[in-house]
Each structure stands twice: as structure tokens, then as C-alpha cells.
Amino acid sequence: MTADRDLEYLLRRAIPDALDPIVRRAVGTIIPRTGEDGRYRVAHTGQFSSRYAGDLLTFARNQRLDGALVVIEPDVLRAIYFRNGRAVGASSDVLFERLGRILLRGGLVDERAATQLVAREEAAGLASVAAEVTPEAAAWALETRVWDVAAALFLVRAGHFVIVEGTPELGGLPAIELSPSDLALEGLRRYDEWRHGPAHGRAPRSSPASRPPHAPPAAPGVARSSPSGEEAIDELLERLRALG
């Protein structure tokens, strides 16, 4: 009987309490605290690597998850948000997955604006960044981030995952709805390309119904150009650091 009580305490109190600061950093107020005593409702947690990325995306789809898949690496936190099993948003503290950097790569803002938007996202959240660009640019960048964050899970060597239940509250952000199956297929394609190179990438067994979107036209006064050699090197170094 004592062992049963200890196990119940571990599962219902100790683990959620230990995970709370990490989950709070990852999802903030996007996922409501619907667990006991104002805790996040942690449904599942365990070790993570790229081998489990497709399985967890499939789990979210099959269970019609309302909540978030949080993936934890040393110094890196990522989250994908789901409503009724469909991916509706993502967050990341990796620099090149910040909205400002995504907009820069799409040629929709310049370097100075991208730096300001990254700082704004860290200080005030996504909605404040989305309000600074056109609705078309915001929708493109937010969807692109979901594709990028999901694909990054297929490159994680070792980490942990947490599935938190609760309907995401994304405020006034543009609506996004993506199939976890399509995200998994795109993640596998990018992993194959990363491992074998674009010229030798093997074709996936099936094609996703949707793919990452193309960037909308650049705003007036913003030239769509490739990053400089120095900027490209900086971006590559950031990606390598994120991969460990």
C-alpha cells in the first residue's frame, strides 16, 4: 500500500512539479494549466531521439491531441501545438527558428529588422512580432516555423519529450492547420537530404498532401536577396550548434 501511494505521488505530484519550470519556459501561457492545483497537465514524458519523432507526431494525430509536444535538449526547447490532432503552431528558442530569422531568410525583412523582431519575440511574444509585418508575411512565417521545428526533431540525437494536455490559446495569430503526417514526411525528407545530400536523397515512399509554403512577395523597400557569405556562415554555425 505504501508503494502504491509513493508511485501515485511520483506520477501525480513529483514529476509534474519537477517539469513545471521547463514546461513553463517552453509553452508559457499558450497551454493552460488544467492539472491539479494549477499545474500543467503532463500526460506523457520520456526519452527522445530522432527515431521517435515520427511516432510522436503520429500519436498526436491518432489521439486527436489538444495540447503540446515539448522536446527538450541541452539549452534547446521546442514545442509543437495541436488542436484535435492537427498542428496549429510551434515555438522554439533556437535563433534561426525565431520568426525574425525566418522572415529574413524569406527576404521579407532586412537584417536590422530581423534582429529587432527576434528581440521583440523574446520580450513580448509572437503576437507582437506578427503585428509588425503584413498578415501574409506573418501567416507564411508562422507556418514555415511549424515545418522547420517539426523537421528539426528528426535531427535530435538525444533529449526528452513531454506531452502537455490543454487546448492551445494562440490569441490573434493567423490560423494554421497542418497534418502531422505531412510534417513527418517532410522531416524524413530533410533528414535524408542532410545525411546523403540533395543529389542523392532517396524519394520518400509517399508524398505529403501539403508542403512548406513559398514566401509571399517582399514588402516595398525590402530587396529579396541571398544572405551574404558571412551571414550564411553564421546561420550554418547556429544550426550546427543546435545539433550539438
**Mean pLDDT computed over 150-155:** 96
Residue 4 lies in a domain: no
Q: Per-residue pLDDT for 198 more than 90? A: no
Q: Residue 107 corresponds to which cell in the numbers above?
A: 527576404
Give the number of other CB atoms < 10 A from CB of residue 131. 13
Question: What average pLDDT is seen over the chain?
Answer: 84
Residue 119 lies in a domain: yes
Residue 12's alpha-carbon distances to 27, 41, 65, 160, in angstroms, are 20, 9, 20, 19
Contact 177/88 with Cβ under 8 angstroms? yes
**Mean pLDDT computed over 131-153:** 94
Residue 146 lies in a domain: yes
Residue 19 lies in a domain: no
Q: How many domains does the chain have?
A: 1
Give pairs for 33-37: CB < 8 Å, separation 24+. 33/166, 34/165, 34/166, 36/12
Residue 1 lies in a domain: no
Residue 5 lies in a domain: no
Structure confidence at residue 43 as a pLDDT band (50, 70, 90): very high
Cα-Cα end-to-end distance for the chain = 44
Buried b (16+ CB within 10 A) or exposed e, 102-121: bbbbbbbbbeebbeebbebb
Q: Residue 163 is part of which domain span?
A: 27-243
Q: Residue 198 corresponds to which cell in the numbers above?
A: 540533395
Structure confidence at residue 145 as a pLDDT band (50, 70, 90): very high
Contact 212/102 with Cβ under 8 angstroms? no
For position 233, what pLDDT does the model report? 45
Residue 153 lies in a domain: yes
Residue 183 lies in a domain: yes
